[in-house]
């Protein structure tokens, strides 16, 4: 919530300018100018923090003023007090350097010390080292080495190319959008989070930033699982702790091994990151070299296979693939000397005993054992067999089409001898597993502070890296399909090739190049993820938009995010416990796709809104490309896993609503605000077409509040009533008037506006506040009634407080302002509501469990009296109250028919209410009514004479002081102009005369005569009739509605003759006497409720 701090200043004009527009001032003045608190730097960080001690020149010092102002610019002295000279501005912009905003960016500490420490680092990295190679390292990963061959085998070359095309197109379109955003200014720490939050606002930024953080954290888990898989499957298989006790229990043993070793590896990596990130950064180039060497060895092996394919025979039983490391010779029998001896393979399928009497597996007996080449080579033509997919169910045995096979199932005991699918596969599953291998495109934008020319390097380096990796993926898919046998491709863990890594069988000079290279590259990628994720969380926490994350903004003395690293390790451990690379990959795919979706959305929104600040140096973008990228991200989310997509969107939605509801307010000039402005402009222009239809009419409120001398809201229950009536729907404008001169009252106006906004927040009123300054309160209220709102979004109803204590006060200004406001609303054809005894109205925390809302429908006002109780009953305070409608029948009316008609009218209005018709018989005017009217007129006459004599005394004092006008010290909310009954100006004498002295003596000594006139006064007959109506109606209303929770009543109009204003107030008092809560309602002259659908 915005807050105000009162700071004493020496120069009032300077203080007024200092708060102008609420913007962050940047001190552009010449470095040589001396002034208190001077810092030679750009002093606004764009975070809404005002950091200058003295942001403007003190014009009170003429010496400094003369030094500062150029003689030729004397005409612009006032402007130069608050704006820099062009020369100063240009010199500051030239000297500005691209300084990285790091961990200390948001700390409450001395900014000069921070900048001095950081200014010594000059960015000098180019496109190759700063963007291209880091992106390559982040994009190439575990999927390329461990899963791409399996994806090609399951999906076939055609569908695999389609998967690669979809994923790489998505990241390329995102890179184009990201390049536009990244070249539209400096991108500090936080990368994608910073770009999205500053483009789409803190709600979107926080939601997507946390999604990006979770994606990076799960990526660390995925890389660790990949490294452990390589370690246990291909490097040191004997290190496994858990072993399968039966052929069908292997999965759980493998998963438990992954969990144990994965947790150990995660702990070691977290310790390395905690001890020093510099070691991780130094090893980054080594890990990148491992990746490049591994990829080069794949291409070398593929080329060599065209002439000399490597020897990796596969043993087939019929058309089924056998696990190669369970036997020694690929044959049923072998000849040793002159004897035919059974092999280990035979003994695995047959019972013990001699060959003639042993019982063998039926499938084994009827099919032959053959050996085929696992890597036929580039020139073998195997590409035709691998062109189309062969998706399999879990447990299905890998079979090669084309080989002869007897149609026999075989026994379950022999199932462990065959290579089988460990999970069910489909196109959508493979998309989710492959997509992480296309992520990592943000590495360049995260390093923008270290780049020599970020606005050139980021687009070029990122797009080149994506083009390179996409080319590698496309060619790898084709090479794998053209060189490797289909059953080997579908063999995820290399069981058919003696537990070798499948992609390693193709590499040259040795499979160990790929195994060791992929192990180190996955370890390095895991370390990079564990390094980046805590910093991203720290950047989000330090922005202070999510309160419960504040603790993660703290760290070690050097800024290392200790607490964030701890949380990252715990979340990564959840991924480790899943223990399956194929299940973790789709999870992080969701989070990355969510992030990329909003990068594209940010670019599209900024482009379509044509924001003045949207000036990217990267020109090759278009909003249509961004929308296409956004659509592809959304499609890929639901293609890969619709339930994960819903969960990820639910998480992002909850974070968004949490930040919106509870998070700290930030103004970052985001695109959503611009979008809101464009939508508001479009809607306002649509509303200008004409007044709303009766079906769409709802009270759009202008609530007129009164403030006391300390600028506190005098009757906050007016706001409570407004919130209960509106329930968050439609327009609510809260207005007030500050009496005085606008030139001198600007600060007071801001304080009054803030006080009202605070009270609006307490009372949960969703709306706008407007405070005007006027010399007379009456004029200010008239201005509010005329000018509040914009276009078609204007108020149609005024809520006005009752002038309490008007009878006891000798000052008539308060009730005259009230009546004038009633007249203004009538002239403007606005509806009027006056809650009387508003302090007795319920708060938002109260609940009425029973009771009635009584409507006294005396005259037709367009249906306001019917509509208001219905709207109130939508609120929880009034929901259980019942509605009763009373109408008054005269002698000539048929009360029975009136009741039927009213019941039918309410039925057609779809309003449930009890109907009563009250008969008011003609009766003689009672002595009480006559006496009440007489007292009213006597009181008015007496007050009029008292005011006249008071005015005469004040006029004498004025004449003595030789003044031409009255000096009246009125209260803040009372008018000055008409309550002093001064004589016409031509009767004002500047000197005393004999006639004047006699007139003064006569007026002073005529009090007894005036008193006798009061005693003999006879009341006006029209006033007697009005009083009679008020008394009779009040008797009936009190009789029927004395226990009602709220009474709604037609408000009589003010008299046409202003002489009867005071009597009008008395009539209203009599009409509502004895009622606890009354709402006087006056229609605006149009129908507001209809029976038609």
Is 60 exceeded by the pLDDT of residue 34?
Answer: no
- 728 — pLDDT class (breaks 50, 70, 90): low
Q: What share of the chain is helix, strand, coil (3-state, %, to 5)?
A: 55, 10, 35
What is the CB neighbour count within 10 angstroms for residue 1001?
Answer: 10
In the 8-state DSSP scheme, what is residue 554? Answer: -
* Element (DSSP H or E) covering residue 193: helix 192-200
User: Which range, 88-102, 201-215, 569-583, has the best average confidence (pLDDT)?
Assistant: 569-583
Q: What is the pLDDT of residue 92?
A: 56
User: Which range, 36-45, 113-122, 906-915, has the best average confidence (pLDDT)?
Assistant: 906-915
% of the chain surpassing 70 pLDDT: 73
Give the residues across from 883 on adjacent strands: 853
Q: What is the pLDDT of residue 932?
A: 61
What are the backbone angles phi and psi of residue 5, rounded to the nearest 5°?
A: -120, 130
Of 740, 715, 702, 884, residue with least CA distance to 805? 715
> pLDDT of 479-503, one tens digit each?
999 999 999 999 988 888 888 889 9
Compute the half-sphere exposure of residue 998: CA atoms within 13 Å on the CB side of its CA: 3
Give the residues across from 918 on adjacent strands: 888
Q: What is the pLDDT of residue 1066?
A: 79
Q: What is the pLDDT of residue 977?
A: 41
Q: How far is CA 643 from CA 218, 633, 649, 799, 1052, in A?
A: 17, 15, 10, 50, 62
Helix locations, 55-120, DSSP H: 62-68, 77-82, 86-95, 111-118
Q: How far is Cα 340 from Cα 332, in angstroms, rounded to an integer?
A: 10
CA 879 from centroid of its chain's CA atoms: 32
> pLDDT of 13-26, one tens digit each?
333 333 333 333 33
8 Å CB contact between 732 and 767 = yes
Instruction: Concatenate the DSSP letters of all residues of 862-893 into one string.
Output: SSHHHHHHHHHTTSTTTTT-EEEEEEEE-TTS
Q: 498 exposed, middle or buried (CB, 10 Å; 0-12, 13-18, 19+)? A: middle
- 1013 — pLDDT class (breaks 50, 70, 90): low
- 689 — pLDDT class (breaks 50, 70, 90): low
Section 1067-1086 average pLDDT: 85
What are the backbone angles phi and psi of residue 383, rounded to the nearest 5°?
A: -60, -30
The 3-class secondary structure across 1007-1038, one letter per residue, is HHHHHHHHHCCCCCHHHHHHHHHHHHHHHHHH
Of 198, 49, 205, residue with least CA distance to 613? 198
Is 90 exceeded by the pLDDT of residue 626?
Answer: yes
Which of helix, strand or coil describes residue 616?
Answer: coil
Q: How far is Cα 873 from Cα 866, in angstroms, rounded to an integer?
A: 12
Is 90 exceeded by the pLDDT of residue 86?
Answer: no
Omega within 30 of 0 (cis) for the link into 340 = no
Instruction: Concatenate the DSSP letters of all residues of 665-711 into one string.
Output: P-----HHHHHHHHHHHHHHHHHTTSPPPGGG----EEEE--B-TTS
Is 70 exceeded by the pLDDT of residue 956?
Answer: no
User: Phi/psi zone of residue 955: left (φ > 0), alpha (ψ -120 to 50 degrees), beta?
Assistant: alpha
Is 80 exceeded by the pLDDT of residue 1056?
Answer: no
Section 596-625 average pLDDT: 85
What is the CB neighbour count within 10 angstroms for residue 96?
Answer: 11
Section 934-963 average pLDDT: 56
Q: What is the pLDDT of residue 122?
A: 55
To 5 degrees, how large is the angle CA 568–CA 570–CA 571? 65
Q: How far is Cα 760 from Cα 767, in angstroms, rounded to an integer?
A: 8
Is 50 exceeded by the pLDDT of residue 154?
Answer: yes
% of the chain surpassing 90 pLDDT: 19
Q: 735 exposed, middle or buried (CB, 10 Å; 0-12, 13-18, 19+)? A: buried
Section 215-235 average pLDDT: 91
Section 132-137 average pLDDT: 85
- Of 520-529, 723-732, 759-768, the range with the lowest mean pLDDT is 723-732
Q: 599 Cβ partners below 8 Å, 6+ apart?
A: 174, 177, 178, 181, 192, 195, 196
Going across the sheet that includes 914-919, the strands are: 768-774, 732-739, 701-704, 797-800, 831-836, 1078-1082, 1046-1050, 852-857, 882-889, 914-919
Q: How far is Cα 787 from Cα 1082, in angstroms, rounded to an integer?
A: 21
- 711 — pLDDT class (breaks 50, 70, 90): confident
Is 90 exceeded by the pLDDT of residue 573?
Answer: yes
Section 651-656 average pLDDT: 86
Instruction: Output the six-digit token pair for 57.
Output: 């020149």
Is 60 exceeded by the pLDDT of residue 664?
Answer: no
- Of 208-217, 556-565, 629-638, 829-838, the range with the lowest mean pLDDT is 556-565
Q: How far is Cα 252 from Cα 932, in angstroms, rounded to an integer?
A: 96
- Of 629-643, 724-738, 919-933, the range with the lowest mean pLDDT is 919-933
Is 80 exceeded by the pLDDT of residue 651?
Answer: yes
Helices (H) and strands (E) in the chain, counts: 37, 15
Section 591-614 average pLDDT: 84
To 5 degrees, how large is the angle CA 996–CA 1000–CA 1002? 115
Instruction: Output the six-digit token pair for 238.
Output: 């004997």
Which of helix, strand or coil describes residue 372?
Answer: strand
- 675 — pLDDT class (breaks 50, 70, 90): low
User: Which range, 72-81, 292-301, 339-348, 354-363, has the best average confidence (pLDDT)?
Assistant: 292-301
8 Å CB contact between 841 and 717 = yes
Q: How far is Cα 665 from Cα 314, in angstroms, rounded to an integer?
A: 65
- Of 71-80, 126-135, 297-306, the range with the lowest mean pLDDT is 71-80
Q: What is the pLDDT of residue 934?
A: 59
What are the backbone angles phi and psi of residue 563, rounded to the nearest 5°?
A: -65, -35
Is 90 exceeded by the pLDDT of residue 342?
Answer: no
Q: What is the pLDDT of residue 174?
A: 93
Say which residue the tokens 């050097």 belong to. Answer: 558
Q: How far is CA 354 from CA 215, 339, 341, 347, in A?
A: 59, 13, 10, 10
**Residue, of 277 and 310, whose pLDDT is higher:** 310
In the 8-state DSSP scheme, what is residue 843? Answer: P
Q: What is the pLDDT of residue 447?
A: 67
Q: How far is Cα 959 from Cα 954, in angstroms, rounded to an integer?
A: 9
Q: 683 Cβ partners below 8 Å, 6+ apart?
A: 793
8 Å CB contact between 633 and 597 = yes
Q: What is the pLDDT of residue 470?
A: 95
- 627 — pLDDT class (breaks 50, 70, 90): very high
> pLDDT of 1015-1043, one tens digit each?
555 556 667 777 777 888 888 888 888 88
8 Å CB contact between 599 and 626 = no
Section 512-532 average pLDDT: 88
Long-range contacts of 706-713 (CB under 8 A, 24+ apart): 706/736, 706/801, 706/973, 707/736, 707/738, 707/752, 707/755, 707/756, 707/972, 707/973, 708/972, 709/971, 709/972, 711/748, 711/751, 711/752, 711/755, 712/755, 713/755, 713/756, 713/759
Give the residues across from 372 on adjacent strands: 314
Q: How far is Cα 710 from Cα 1016, in angstroms, rounded to an integer?
A: 46
Q: How far is Cα 669 from Cα 198, in angstroms, rounded to an integer?
A: 7
Q: What is the pLDDT of residue 663?
A: 57
Q: How far is Cα 536 from Cα 1092, in angstroms, rounded to an integer?
A: 57
Q: What is the pLDDT of residue 171?
A: 94
> pLDDT of 758-813, one tens digit each?
998 888 888 899 999 998 888 999 999 988 888 778 888 999 988 887 776 666 67
Q: How far is Cα 368 from Cα 349, in angstroms, rounded to an integer?
A: 13
Is 70 exceeded by the pLDDT of residue 187?
Answer: no
**Residue, of 248 and 817, whose pLDDT is higher:** 817
Q: 76 Cβ partners below 8 Å, 6+ apart?
A: none
- Of 537-551, 839-853, 972-986, the range with the lowest mean pLDDT is 972-986
- Of 102-106, 308-312, 690-694, 957-961, the range with the lowest mean pLDDT is 102-106
């Amino acid at each position: 919530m915005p807050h105000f701090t009162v700071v004493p200043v020496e120069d009032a004009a300077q203080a007024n300018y200092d708060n102008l527009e609420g913007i962050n001032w940047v001190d552009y003045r010449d470095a040589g100018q001396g002034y208190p608190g001077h810092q030679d730097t750009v002093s606004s960080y764009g975070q809404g923090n005002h950091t200058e001690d003295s942001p403007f020149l003190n014009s009170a010092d003429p010496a400094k003023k003369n030094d500062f102002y150029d003689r030729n610019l004397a005409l612009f002295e006032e402007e130069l007090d608050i704006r820099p000279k062009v020369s100063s501005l240009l010199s500051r912009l030239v000297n500005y350097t691209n300084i990285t905003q790091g961990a200390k960016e948001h700390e409450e500490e001395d900014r000069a010390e921070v900048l001095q420490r950081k200014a010594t680092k000059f960015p000098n990295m180019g496109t190759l080292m700063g963007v291209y190679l880091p992106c390559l390292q982040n994009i190439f990963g575990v999927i390329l080495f461990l899963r791409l061959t399996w994806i090609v085998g399951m999906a076939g070359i055609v569908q695999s190319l389609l998967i690669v095309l979809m994923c790489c197109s998505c990241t390329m379109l995102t890179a184009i959008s990201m390049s536009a955003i990244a070249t539209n200014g400096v991108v500090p720490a936080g990368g994608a989070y910073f770009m999205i939050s500053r483009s789409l606002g803190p709600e979107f930024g926080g939601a997507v930033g946390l999604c990006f953080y979770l994606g990076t954290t799960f990526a660390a888990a995925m890389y660790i699982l990949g490294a452990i898989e390589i370690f246990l499957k291909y490097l040191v298989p004997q290190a496994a702790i858990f072993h399968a006790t039966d052929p069908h229990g292997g999965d759980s043993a493998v998963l438990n091994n992954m969990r144990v070793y994965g947790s150990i590896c995660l702990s070691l990596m977290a310790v390395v990151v905690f001890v020093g990130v510099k070691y991780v950064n130094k090893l980054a180039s080594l890990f990148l070299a491992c990746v490049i060497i591994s990829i080069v060895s794949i291409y070398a092996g593929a080329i060599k296979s065209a002439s000399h394919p490597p020897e990796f025979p596969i043993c087939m039983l019929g058309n089924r693939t056998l696990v190669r490391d369970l036997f020694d010779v690929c044959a049923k029998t072998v000849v040793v000397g002159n004897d035919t001896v059974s092999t280990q393979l035979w003994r695995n399928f047959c019972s013990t005993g001699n060959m003639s009497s042993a019982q063998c597996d039926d499938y084994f007996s009827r099919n032959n054992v053959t050996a085929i080449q696992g890597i036929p080579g580039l020139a073998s033509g195997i590409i035709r067999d691998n062109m189309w997919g062969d998706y399999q169910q879990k447990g299905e045995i890998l079979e090669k089409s084309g080989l002869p096979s007897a149609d026999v199932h075989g026994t379950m005991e022999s199932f462990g001898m065959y290579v089988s699918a460990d999970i069910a596969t489909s196109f959508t599953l493979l998309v989710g597993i492959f997509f992480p291998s296309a992520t990592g495109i943000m590495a360049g934008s995260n390093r923008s502070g270290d780049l020599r020319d970020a606005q050139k390097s980021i687009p070029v380096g990122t797009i080149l890296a994506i083009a390179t990796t996409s080319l590698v993926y496309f060619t790898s898919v084709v090479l794998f399909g053209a060189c490797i046998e289909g059953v080997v491709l579908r063999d995820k863990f290399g069981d058919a090739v003696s537990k070798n890594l499948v992609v390693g069988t193709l590499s040259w000079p040795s499979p160990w190049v790929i195994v060791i290279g992929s192990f180190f590259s996955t370890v390095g990628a895991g370390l990079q993820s564990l390094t980046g994720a805590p910093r991203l969380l720290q950047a989000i926490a330090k922005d202070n938009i999510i309160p419960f994350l504040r603790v993660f903004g703290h760290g070690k003395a050097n800024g290392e995010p200790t607490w964030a690293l701890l949380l990252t390790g715990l979340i990564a451990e959840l991924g480790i416990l899943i223990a399956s690379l194929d299940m973790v990959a789709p999870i992080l795919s969701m989070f990355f796709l969510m992030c990329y979706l909003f990068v594209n959305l940010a670019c599209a929104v900024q482009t379509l809104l044509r924001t003045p600040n949207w000036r990217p140096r990267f020109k090759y973008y278009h909003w249509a490309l961004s929308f296409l990228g956004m659509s592809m991200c959304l499609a890929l989310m639901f293609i890969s896993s619709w339930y994960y997509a819903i969960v990820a969107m639910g998480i992002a939605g909850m974070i968004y609503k949490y930040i919106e509801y509870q998070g700290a307010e930030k103004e970052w000039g985001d695109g959503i605000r611009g979008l809101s402005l464009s939508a508001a402009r479009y809607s306002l222009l649509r509303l200008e077409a004409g007044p709303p239809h009766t079906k769409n009419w709802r009270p759009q409120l202008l609530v007129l509040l009164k403030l006391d001398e300390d600028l506190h809201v005098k009757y906050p229950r007016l706001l409570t009533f407004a919130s209960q009536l509106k329930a968050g729907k439609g327009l609510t404008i809260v207005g007030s008037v500050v009496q005085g001169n606008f030139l001198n009252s600007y600060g007071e106006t801001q304080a009054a506006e803030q006080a009202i906004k605070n009270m609006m927040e307490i009372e949960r009123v969703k709306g706008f506040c407007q405070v005007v300054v006027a010399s007379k309160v009456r004029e200010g209220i008239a201005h509010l009634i005329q000018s509040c709102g914009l276009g078609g979004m204007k108020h149609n109803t005024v809520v006005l407080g009752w002038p309490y204590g008007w009878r006891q006060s000798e000052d008539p200004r308060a009730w005259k302002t009230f009546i004038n406001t009633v007249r203004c609303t009538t002239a403007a054809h606005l509806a009027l509501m006056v809650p009387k005894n508003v302090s007795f109205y319920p708060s938002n925390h109260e609940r009425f469990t029973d009771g009635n809302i009584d409507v006294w429908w005396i005259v037709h006002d367009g249906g306001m009296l019917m509509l208001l109780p219905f709207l109130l009953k939508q609120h929880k305070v009034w929901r259980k109250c019942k509605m009763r409608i009373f109408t008054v029948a005269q002698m000539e009316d048929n009360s029975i028919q009136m009741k039927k008609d009213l019941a039918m009218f309410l039925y057609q209005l779809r309003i449930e209410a009890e109907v009563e018709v009250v008969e008011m018989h003609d009766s003689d005017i009672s002595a009480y009514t006559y006496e009440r009217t007489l007292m009213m007129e006597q009181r008015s006459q007496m007050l009029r004479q008292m005011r006249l004599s008071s005015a005469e005394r004040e006029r004498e004092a004025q004449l003595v002081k030789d003044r031409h006008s009255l000096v009246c010290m009125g209260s803040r909310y009372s008018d000055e102009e008409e309550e002093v009954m001064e004589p016409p100006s031509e009767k004002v004498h500047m000197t005393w005369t004999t006639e004047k002295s006699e007139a003064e003596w006569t007026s002073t000594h005529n009090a007894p005569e005036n008193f006798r006139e009061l005693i003999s006064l006879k009341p006006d007959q029209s006033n007697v009739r009005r009083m009679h109506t008020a008394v009779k109606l009040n008797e009936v209303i009190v009789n029927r509605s004395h226990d009602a929770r709220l009474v709604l009543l037609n408000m009589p109009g003010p008299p046409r003759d202003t002489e009867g204003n005071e009597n009008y107030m008395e009539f209203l008092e009599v009409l509502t006497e004895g009622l606890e809560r009354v709402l006087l309602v006056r229609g605006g002259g149009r129908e507001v409720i209809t029976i038609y659908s």
